[in-house]
Chains A and B, each alone.
Chain A
């Protein structure tokens, strides 16, 4: 069994894992970080999104061993010193969640969108959320939340950003 060593939410962890272990399994089963969810197994729904070295990654299609030496942040690691991340705060303030199952992946993707694109408008947000499915909210309030979270993160008004 290969050994994998990585940093998760600022803490270094090391474990012997079956080579086929997915990053999401490693997080949920080895580390008991159950905030990251599996919704589809086919990289479509985004419930499993975490940040690996600062980029949004679908942890259901990433092997744990691919993350050797990487810096991983999950939903549990987003709040700092007991203070919610502005995007978490925005999801609560704008009722951007109902059942909460897609929410961790949705928030991690939203933070990544703003990290990459800065202040984003509605059309950009809707395009960028292509890889995250929510069955409860109809996205209306998720879009409002991401707009507000982007404003809080950047201090800038929403703007149309070019598609990649």
Chain B
């Protein structure tokens, strides 16, 4: 029996089905009698619905049913919710407009759901949708983040005057102002954090099915957290009570946050399945995905950093406007507040921080968590400020960082977070070594001979993962607890099933979770199955996001394994006819201290079930234990990424010459999988910095609504990555894990822009820094240089 240790780069158990085409994604599922749904979507960003006439469409071939907002209202289906309450400065609760699953009276963004056609085939559903007669009263659209609150800007929801959902703040305003007054130097930056589309390669999809015999519903859907979806659909939308609604998230083709949220389409599918009595299937095409998936980022920020004569940071001040889109998505309100401003201290000891955030409605797709969720925006602010400040006061950016690093732990920041462990200098020094920073000057001079501008950019980032202690987030407005559950079932033959509330959509849980069980119980990972993504199998769980599956999900498994081990020792004591206190368990063998008597795990499992060797009055038969693990603190992954970039002066094309990443994720279960997460995160961050941008025109049309218009990173846009690690174990969970899923996307955008600003000699380089943008910057710089001559 081969044990797979923690720390082993074992190959993934789940891969066989994916490389042979045997994965089961939602769109691969077909149910008997299935119909196809097609959504009629608003072509206007903002309009009243004066008339929605379905009479002619209903007579079209193959049409089973057509539903509109009136049917939703008649059935008293509740609206989609935002599960995190934020209060404004004056203590008033955020101002949220209704979010019906089919539009009622008004549409608020291009793609908003006007009606659903259910038909025998998708082609018939599309044809019938064209025959629906809608009379739109077109209204002016409000699409500009910075201008959304302007006087006279079109109002998206009457509940939110000036389109302001909340005006929130954090930190000590007076103390921060005093720090700026006393500062030797103040660095100011205006920052736009560009709007992104998550674009998991699998478009969202859903199949709803009604079992009339049992009055029960099943929803197959592309979800990162099926239990949360069931809870919201039951408690707030009234689709069915929880025990009558099964939500299954099978293989899911990437999420990056976008599949956390409960969407109109999947809710309509399961609601309509009961209404029309047949399974209803919907799969987004890529343009629907662009139009209606929750987007990410979209901040406009003024940021300032105060420093003293010794180059110590004395204060940081931020004012951000965050675009929420047309409706508040499931966790939208938390992203630019508690996931953003609480990270504004970065890796630095900053005594005074004050941040204000206004969240605004616009006539655009809802905006919510996308890989990193608030932390990339915070890191971009902090790391751009630090880099610019160092340059302005004439200090080496690495030396400036070292001077200001937090070096004693625990460290309480002025913005809630209590950093528990880390060694920021160690990751910076290691990264500088790997990146050969010493040789950069020579490389820059050689590049200049070829007409290339070369730059070096640092990003020493920190993030908060492992969300989160339920009491803490409850006090900050979260509507749910953020623990995780696990159940470990040992079968009589000694094989193990682990039921987890975490959900894998690419992260490799079926392997890493099995590694934990293998190393603890001394059994092969081939004898361990990880069960997830089905509310009928797993009792409850909070799902996967915020890099929480290792730190929280595996901690729950670890706690359940403690209980398994404790009970198995009792069984072993009976089998070995020894006192329980004398039983040791190691490498899958139970032994009696000081003797050569032993029994293996499989035999103990069998004895737990046949129950011949113990009195069932004293010890219950069976070997199955569960645990709910609620973390005691956030975890704080941190590290240093260094980007070396070269810009062609003639064309403005930027090429990343070398990427170095040194991350501290605490203890690592499978380094191969962790490095893969880092690679993917960097690619998304480089995408944000150089390529990607969701652009609405003034009428609210998304002009980047396909892969032909929105620049996804491709293989030739990226280099290979040089990835290293440092380790300070996380003190707050039993495994010492911090989380690795988002770090790359958090660290990388400022590393790229810091490298570009270094190369071009100006702090004014916006994202995405496309060749056109860079060419314009180069022209501007060269004009200024000529004017100065």
Which positions in A face B, CB cutoff 8 Å?
A: 18, 20, 28, 32-42, 44-45, 47, 74-76, 78-79, 84, 88, 91-93, 95, 97-104, 107, 122, 125-127, 129-130, 132-143
Complex partner residue of A95 from B201, B254, B672, CB under 8 angstroms: B672
B442 part of interface (Cβ distance < 8 Å)? no
B19 near A98 with CB under 8 A, answer no
Please, how many angstroms separate the alpha-carbon atoms of A92 and B20 in the complex?
11
User: In the complex, which residues of chain A have a beta carbon less than 8 angstroms from the beta carbon of B25?
Assistant: 34, 37, 101
Assess the B202–A101 pair: CB atoms within 8 A.
yes
Residue of A nearest to B721 (CB): A140
Tell me if B706 counts as interface (CB < 8 A to partner A): yes
Chain B residues positioned under 8 Å from A36 (CB to CB): 21
Q: How far, in whole Å, are A136 and B673 apart by their CA atoms in the complex? A: 12
Whole-angstrom CA separation of A104 from B25 in the bound complex: 13
Q: Are B200 and A99 in contact (CB under 8 A)?
A: yes
Interface pair A100/B28, CB less than 8 Å apart: no
Residue of A36, A74, A78, A98 most packed against chain B (CB within 10 A): A98
A38 contacts across to B, CB distance below 8 A: 27, 203, 283, 285
Most chain B Cβ neighbours within 10 Å, of A92, A93, A129: A92
**Residue in A20, A28, A41, A100 whose beta carbon sits within 8 Å of that of B287 in the complex:** A41
Are A100 and B23 touching (Cβ within 8 A)? yes
**In the complex, residue of chain B having the shortest beta-carbon distance to the beta carbon of A90:** B19
Interface readout for B182-223 with A: 1 if CB under 8 Å, 0 if not?
000000000000000001111100000000000000000000
In Å, the complex CA distance between A32 and B505 comes to: 23
Decide if A40 touches B286 in the complex (CB within 8 Å): yes
Residues of B close to A28: CB separation below 8 A: 28
**Beyond A39-B203, A100-B251, A143-B715: 15 further Cβ-contacts under 8 Å?**
A18-B123, A35-B23, A38-B285, A42-B707, A76-B22, A79-B20, A88-B20, A92-B16, A92-B19, A99-B251, A99-B254, A103-B18, A129-B715, A138-B681, A140-B679
Q: In the bound complex, do residue A75 and residue B721 qualify as a contact, i.e. CB atoms below 8 Å apart? A: no
Q: Is the CB of B680 within 8 A of A103?
A: no
Which 5 A/B pairs are nearest by Cβ-Cβ distance?
A35-B21, A101-B253, A100-B18, A138-B683, A99-B506
Task: Write out the residue numbers on chain B whose beta carbons fall within 8 Å of the beta carbon of A126.
Answer: 715-716, 718
* Residues in chain A near residue B287, CB distance under 8 A: 41
The answer to whether residues A125 and B715 also contact, given A42-B707, A92-B12, A133-B707 and a CB cut-off of 8 A, is: yes
Q: Which residues of chain B have C-beta atoms less than 8 A from A101's C-beta? A: 23, 25, 200-202, 253-254
Q: B21–A135 contact, CB under 8 A?
A: no
A28→B30 CA distance, assembly (Å): 11
Docked Cα-Cα span, A133 to B203, in Å, equals: 13
Decide if B726 is an interface residue (CB 8 Å cutoff).
no
Q: Are B18 and A97 in contact (CB under 8 A)?
A: yes
Evaluate contact between B708 and A44: CB separation under 8 angstroms. Answer: yes
Q: Which residues of B (700-718) have their CB < 8 Å from a CB of A?
A: 706-708, 712-716, 718
In the complex, whether B302 has a CB less than 8 A from a CB of chain A is no
Chain A residue, CB-CB nearest to B252: A99
* Inter-chain contact A135/B20, CB cutoff 8 Å: no
Q: How many A-B residue pairs have CB under 8 A?
A: 180
B455 within 8 A of A: no
| A135 neighbours in B (Cβ, 8 Å) | 199-201, 254, 256, 680, 683-684, 712
A37 near B202 with CB under 8 A, answer: yes
Do residues A138 and B253 form an inter-chain contact, with CB atoms below 8 A? no
User: Are A47 and B708 neighbours in the complex by a CB distance under 8 Å?
Assistant: no
The residues of B that contact A41 with a CB separation of less than 8 Å are 285-287, 706
**27 A-B residue pairings within 8 Å (CB atoms):** A34-B24, A35-B20, A35-B23, A38-B283, A39-B202, A41-B287, A76-B20, A88-B19, A93-B11, A95-B676, A97-B19, A98-B680, A99-B506, A100-B17, A100-B18, A100-B19, A100-B253, A101-B23, A103-B18, A133-B201, A136-B254, A138-B682, A138-B713, A140-B679, A142-B715, A143-B715, A143-B720
- B20 near A75 with CB under 8 A, answer yes
Q: Which residues of A contact B506 (CB under 8 A)?
A: 98-100, 136
Chain B nearest CB, measured from A90 CB (Å): 9
Indicate with 1 or 0, residue by residue over B273-308, a CB within 8 angstroms of chain A CB atoms.
000000000010111000000000000000000000
* Contact code string B325-345 (vs A, CB < 8 Å = 1, else 0): 000000000000000000000
Instruction: Flag if A141 contacts B679 (CB, 8 Å).
Output: yes
B508 at interface, CB cutoff 8 A? yes
B172 at the interface (CB under 8 A from A): no
For B25, B254, B508, which residue has the most chain A Cβ atoms within 10 angstroms? B254
- In the complex, which residue of chain B has the Cβ closest to the Cβ of A122? B720
Q: How far is the CA of A137 from the CA of B744 in the complex (A)?
A: 11
Contact A34 B682 (CB under 8 A): no
Please tell me if B632 contacts chain A, counting CB pairs below 8 Å. no
Q: A97-B15, A99-B202, A130-B714 are in contact. Are A138 and B679 (CB under 8 A)?
A: yes
The answer to whether B19 touches A138 (Cβ under 8 A) is no
Contacts of B16 in A (CB 8 A): 92
Q: Which residue of B is nearest A79, CB measured?
A: B20
A39–B286 CB distance below 8 A: yes
Query: In the complex, A66 Cα to B12 Cα: how many Å?
Result: 38
Q: Are B706 and A44 neighbours in the complex by a CB distance under 8 Å?
A: yes
B21 to chain A, nearest CB (A): 2
Distance of A95 Cα from B680 Cα, bound (Å): 12
Q: Closest residue of chain A to B681, judged by CB?
A: A138
Query: Contact partner of A34 among B14, B28, B508, CB < 8 A?
Result: B28
Residues of B within 8 A of A102 (CB): 201, 253
Q: Please indicate the chain A residues that have their CB under 8 angstroms from the CB of B28 in the complex.
A: 28, 34
CB-defined contacts of B23 to chain A, threshold 8 Å: 35, 100-101
A78 CA to B252 CA, complexed, in Å:
23
| Neighbouring A residues of B254 by C-beta, 8 Å | 98-99, 101, 135-136
Determine the distance from Cα of A41 to Cα of B71 in the docked complex, in whole angstroms. Answer: 32
Cβ–Cβ contact B712 & A98, under 8 A: no
CB of A31 to closest CB in B, whole Å: 12
- Smallest beta-carbon distance A117→chain B, Å: 15
Q: Report the bound CA distance from A141 to B506 in whole Å.
A: 14
| Nearest-CB residue, chain A, relative to B723 | A140
Q: Does B529 contact A (CB under 8 A)?
A: no
B707 and A40 within 8 A (CB): yes
Residue among A33, A42, A98 making CB contact with B508, cutoff 8 Å = A98
Q: Mark B737-769, 1 if CB is under 8 A from A, else 0.
A: 000000010000000000000000000000000
Do the beta carbons of A40 and B706 come within 8 Å of each other? yes
Distance of B710 from chain A, by nearest CB (Å) = 10
